[in-house]
Amino acid sequence: MRDVQISEVLIEQGDSAVPFFVVVSGEIEIVRPSDGVEMLITVHGPGQFTGEVNMMSGRRAMYRAHVIKQGKVIELDRQNIMALIQSDAELGEILIRAFILRRAELLAAGVGDVVFIGSIHSPGTHRIKEFLIRNGHPYSYIDLDRDPDVQNLLDSFHIDSTEIPIMICQGKFVLKNPSNQEIANCLGFNESIDHTHLRDLVIIGAGSSGLAAAVDDASEGLHVLVLTDSPGGQASSSSRIENYLGFYWNIRSRACNKSI
């Protein structure tokens, strides 16, 4: 437990090592910084805690967390919070459920660290949208054909409308019609992967079969790496999946996606 002071930044957008905080006293404000302006997302008070799905995946922080009322917090790093989730089933269920519901709210509200400018007439726009959606990454979308103020944004980043689709990451990195690999690199999807580590097994594809194989082999103590552009594979579009790992009856893809 430690003291925190007003205006102290606990988490900065883009941080790769994101700590977990439980508020004992005081208040922590969660905001999305953009062009010097902070958009309020939520405020955590006594008894509440920070974090969402990125806490489990090890990806970069999408938001800034700073103190607006001095007090005391309990701070844990990702390794300790993951150990807690694995060792305490009841507490782990509460945390995981909260993380998933928070991400669902961010997705529904279109609040993330990405501004995406595109057009319905651009194939690249549809490809990037699908990549972000299937990876569960929140983003704000601006339609070049419908938003009257989009030109001001393009001008501020010295972008021509013919260069769409455009992605602006964390309000400073501009990608013009990026590949899926460039998007993953900009958003830090693979930063937590140790590329020097020798794996026992590499699985290409993360559909229902690939995920089942990864879970089963990892449970036997093997070090497994799954290569995919997004988790879910065919499971994301199948109306029904039979005999999926952990289920003894047919399940609809919506239930499968939640379990994944």
Dihedral of the alpha carbons of 191, 193, 196, 200, in degrees to the nearest 10: -170
Residue 160: the pLDDT is 84
Least Cα distance to 231 among 253, 252, 206 occurs for: 206
| Domains of the chain, each with CATH number or no CATH | 2-108 (2.60.120.10), 114-187 (3.40.30.10), 201-259 (no CATH)
Asked if omega into 231 is within 30° of 0 (cis), the reply is no
- The per-residue pLDDT for range 84-141, each reduced to its tens digit, is 998 999 999 999 999 999 999 999 999 999 999 999 889 999 999 999 998 889 999 9
- The per-residue pLDDT for range 192-207, each reduced to its tens digit, is 777 788 899 999 988 8
Residue 252: the pLDDT is 45
**DSSP β-bridge partners for residue 38:** 33
Residue 210: the pLDDT is 86
Interhelix angle for 89-109 vs 78-87, to 10°? 120
Residue 124: the pLDDT is 93
What parts of the chain have a pLDDT lower than 50?
248-260
CA distances from 108 to 99, 101, 111, 190, 233 (A): 14, 11, 8, 24, 22
Angle at 241 between CA 214 and CA 249, to 5 degrees: 100
Question: Measured between alpha carbons, how far is 28 from 14 in angstroms, rounded to an integer?
Answer: 18
Residue 245: the pLDDT is 62
Question: Residues 6 or more apart from 52 whose CB is under 8 A from it?
Answer: 99, 102, 103, 106
> What DSSP line would sit under 132-155, residue for residue?
HHHTT---EEEETTT-TTHHHHHH
Residue 165: the pLDDT is 93
Residue 52: the pLDDT is 95
